Amino acid sequence: MNRIQLPKVVSADLNFANEKCGYAGRELEAMDDARNYHRWILRIFEPFLGAHLVEVGAGVGSFSKLILNRHDCQSLCLVEPSRTQYEQLAIYARSLATRARLEVYNTTFAEAAPKSKRNKLPIR
C-alpha cells in the first residue's frame, strides 16, 4: 500500500499591505482547466528548472501542481500578493502530495526573497 506523503508547507503572512494587490477577477479559477496551455508554458521553462524554484504570482496553485508533477525539485516557493488568492493557495498547497518543501507567501517577490528557507524563515 502506497502512502501519500503530505508536503511540509511553510505559510507566512508577512504583513504586506495587500490592499494594493487586491484581485477581484475570476480569471485564475477559469484558467485552472487550461491544462494544454500550462503544459506548453512548462515545456518552455523546463530546461532551465533547477532544484529550488520560485513561482511568482502563484494564484490558486494550478501551475504549481503541474511543476511538482513533472519536475523533481527539492523546494518550491509560492509567492502570491493577493490575499484572496493566497488563502486558497495556502489550503491547496497543503493538499499536494510531494516530497518537495513548499513555502507559501502572501506578499511580493521583493518582500519574500530575503525571508525564504535559505535565509532561515521560521516554520510556523
Cβ burial 3-35 (10 Å sphere, 16+ → b, else e): eeeebebbbbeeebebeebebeeeebeeeeeee
Report which secondary-structure segment, H or E, holds 65. Answer: helix 62-70
Q: Which of 46, 32, 53, 59 is nearest to 101 (CA)?
A: 53
Mean pLDDT value across the chain: 76
Helix (H, G, I), strand (E, B) or coil at 106: coil
Sorted by sequence, the CB contacts under 8 Å of residue 81 that are 6+ apart come out as 16, 18, 21, 57, 106, 107, 108
For 41-47, what is the mean pLDDT? 92
pLDDT in tens, 54-111: 999 999 898 999 999 999 999 999 999 999 889 999 999 999 889 999 999 999 888 8
Helix (H, G, I), strand (E, B) or coil at 9: strand
Q: Look up residue 108 and give its three cell numbers.
A: 511580493
